[in-house]
A and B are shown apart, each in its own frame.
Chain A
Amino acid sequence: MSKNEITITIDGVECRTTEGEYILNAARANGIFIPAICYLTRCSPTLACRICLVEADGKRVYSCNAKAKEGMEIVTQTEEILEERRAIMEVYDVNHPLQCGVCDQHGECELQNYTLELGVDSQHYAIADTLRETKNWSTVLHYDAGLCIVCERCVTVCKDMIGDSALKTGPRGGGPLDKGYKETMPKDAYAMWNKLQKSIIVPSNGTEHTNCSDCGECTAVCPVGALTERDFVYKANPWELKEIPATCAHCSSGCHLYYETRFSSIDNPEEMIFRVKNEWNFQSLCGAGRFGYDYENRNVSKDEVAFAQAVAALQKAETIRFSSMISNEEALMLQRLKEEKGIRLVNPEVRPFQRFLTAYAKSSGRSLYGSDYREIMEESDFVVSIGAALRNDNPNARYAFNNVQKMNKGAGLYFHPVGDTLVPTFGKSVECITHKPGQEETALYLVLDLFADKEALPDYLREYLEGFHETRKKTVKEKVMKEVTEIVKDEETGEEKEVKKKVPEMVEKEVEYDHNLLVEALGADPVAFAESFEKMMKKKESFALILGEDLYGHPHWENLAKLAALAEKHCGMKLAMIPPKSNALGVALICDLDEEAEGYTVGYNQPGDFRLSALGDGDLDMPAMNQQEGTMTTMNKRVVPTNAALEYGGYTLNDLMNALGLGKRLTVDWTMELPVDRGFQAEAFDDLKDGFLNDGTEIRGYALTPIRGRASTAKAKPASDEAVLEGTIAYRCNPQRQFNDFTDKAHQIFEAFALYASPEKAEELGEKVEVIFEEGSLTLDVVADERMNGEIVAVPDFKASADVYRLFGESRYANVTLKKV
């Protein structure tokens, strides 16, 4: 995409923007207000509200879909435009229930705001109302159709950002408009009303219930009170809630969000989180972030006995086992314990990732992958994903993948052994290759083969790749235009005439083609693939590669890291990895992890001989992530601050460090000490900024600095089939919205700790199975996941107590025996 800087004039103010940017975004970035209801940044313009009407070089255009051109003169307000806008707002107010008093959006309602902004003080239009019923679309979504203004923001965000496309507009059943309005009303307002009167939002699958990932992003973007979280309906008023900016701690996305707190009730003055809000123009949340907020460790007081025991346990501990849902500061404290006391640090979630990252660094000469997901979302038009269960592993990686398809007219290649029915719906140019587990090397070689600049590749590699190409012959059907002569009789005159016509005809033809053995090895048809790939590659300029957790635990991780580095270097691809869990990247950078636990183990939110736990079930209570301040490292390679939303009355890890003589005054005093030699900066916590600028620039915290070294020139090994698994395979993968014990604790997240399988497989397995691994077994309920495909079953790992990591070993795939129970 072009990134030429241009200058346009909006209301006499000179604005710098880039060519091809929408006028609305350019105005917003420069702090100029243009009203707009239906437009969402990062999504395609809906053109439903028509209120963003402006005059560009004397012509009326909609600023949300008119692109800026050099020297453009834009006027945002003329008398006509104001009249049009006012009429539109009046139409929006027609039959909108006057029940602001009880509405959950009251006070932050865009309909209220614009009605006031545009000075609507009387109503000129009227039509009979239609009965529109309130519905609960899912366990979390509540839709009050009576309040809906059909701006279609929910539809747009669900399609363009989330990728579920779970909503669409449906018929409302409203009567036709009075004909007289057509002459008397401003044109746009009439057109808008005409459409509004006919439509309403319905689930796109034709039922009463949405089939989606329950992320709730539609409730966030809804400008009125039509779409709300079921749990929040009529519970509190927006203005009573205190907004606390924080960072979501559930997965490695580290999304920015606001915890909204208030006293619990009249009887209970304790603060409680009522809901989560986000900057939906710049950051989309997933269901875990939005609904998994009430995982705080409540009613904790300072238990001195337990504290003394914890200090004693740490004194004699040989190993600390911890999960990655900790802040950078806590990770640093643990690392300090390792340095000072020689305690082993064990984190089975992060260890493979750390190893992989180190290997990648060795090969590429950079300690961090080169790109991030915001960049991919904004710039890429071709995304390749290898080794990630996109739908489950990381919502933002999935949103990026989807957004590229929708917004950048992109294409996507999705390599994964577990069949997924959602990913192909992201776009027409999405090709899913369901290979066997363990074939990730082949997939990466294919990427090198498809995208690499062959001239620049090392000789051995080029030769190796050429070995996969064969010239074969295939029969193709070709359309040939054939001339046919027909005799036509003119009916009126009775004359007969000879008419020459061209008629298409299919002709079979044998052609030579390039047969790609790599594609074949991955289980796809090389012919079909070559065809679709050719289409996919049209007009593509910027490529991205997303690497997932499957690679880190792969037996040939070292070779995979090497290949990833090569792909980044030679294909010109933006490379981004998905850190496996919450703060995995931070832990990987800060802690020197050990492979195995030994001796007396202290578990921090993990099993152990002595348990520190933020879940309230351990030997000493710890604050949960929404009760502490500190920093997290996101997968976008930023160190971002998070704040305590709720009070915590007990001891923190820093208190334990103090008792051991290693502590600081506050936990956030550790922020300064984050290791600069691993890419962190010596910035104090209180100096870290938070939030986004008007143009969407993220100003949260700071970006990690990649440490550069010498790239090793060791050769990559050829792809081997040693690691390929056959037979009954279990995949370590959490259901959507579940990441750890904390999401499980939240009352609005219902996904069970169960065996997930495709509907067919689930039917075959029955209700309950015993999953037998080499190391042990688990008995799980079987849940059908409609979006799964194929034979592989998914076993979640979000319950630390189940110790699924031990069962699987390092790899995410394991051969298992499934026994019906």
Chain B
Amino acid sequence: MDIEFAPQDEDFRAEVRSFIEENYPKHLVGADRGDLSKEDFLAWHKILAKKGWVAPSWPEEFGGTGWTVTQKYIWNEESASFGTIPPLPFGIGMLGPVIYTFGNQEQKDWVLPGILSGETWWCQGYSEPGAGSDLAGLKTKAELDGDEYVVNGHKIWTTLAQHADWMFCLVRTSSEGKPQEGISFLLIDMNTPGIEVKPIITIDGGHEVNEVFLTDVRVPAKNLVGEQDKGWTIAKFLLGNERSGIAGVARSKKAIDRLRDIARAELEDGKPLLDCGAFSRKIAELEIDLTALEYTELRTLASESKGQGPGPESSILKIKGTEIQQRITELTMEAVGNYASPWVPQLDRGDNYLAIGPEHAEGVSQTYFNNRKTSIYGGSNEIQRNIIAKMVLGL
């Protein structure tokens, strides 16, 4: 057992760190995800694309970096500790691997370059009003009519669909057999007539998710990925990828540093809150939980680098990772005391707007409210526990 990084890994760390410091767009340093325009979301993505570093998780032949597992880990750590806006997950993390694993040559040729360059914004058409945790219960129907599918249905919780050019979508092509049979994986141009995107405003006041209504949407049959009715395999493959990387250890470390800074600035009876035993113990507990998660993730990575793919154990990373993220946002809100409650939406701030309370208090409640989603999305934490119970414990 050895937890030291090799010298060449430390060299690599120095290289990526200076690249980030020198090239990350200045106006996006410390930017809040809630306030980003489409261009902002893509700015860093495009810089990384030029450098060839936008898709470290992909095989080299499709545009990956060829980094070792350790190098990828270091990259994620450095990106997080700088606080970069990560490249959009829909293309790089979700669809890309599906296409190079299940797509035909033609699909590889037209889908992958657009993902890498950032030219095509993808969104994920999975959940439906009646199909959340039970994804296989989806009803959006696609019927073959000549060389086109005609798609009718209703998708929901579609993240950032308001910016999307294309959607990868699970549709029902057959209602025979088990619900998992008869699902197909379809690529749909969001400009096709019959698609309507309706915003859903969440409790933090943000517009991140949407409903997507599909009415007689005609999709060329060649946009089917893999075989018709065999899309469930692809769906599961994609969800497995979605779970890895969700632990967010490096980003949580950074968030705890920020929490500690806030607790140092906030005073209780004239003394820093950080010096108050009860509060510093809570931060300590969080840090210990995070250390455990970090080593759990490292153990997963170590077995991955020996060729063992991420198993159902990766559900631990999702559950613990999101619980820790939520706890950090909760404590951050707690730290700022009374100034957690003011809420002036960006749009309502006139030219004469004066910040209310200390700068570090701004938006902490919104972040707390927004983060409640993390134990719901990507397979709720209840579903993740079911996976562990069934696949790991054999119950």
Q: Decide whether A and B are members of one complex.
A: no
Interface residues of A (CB under 8 A from B): none
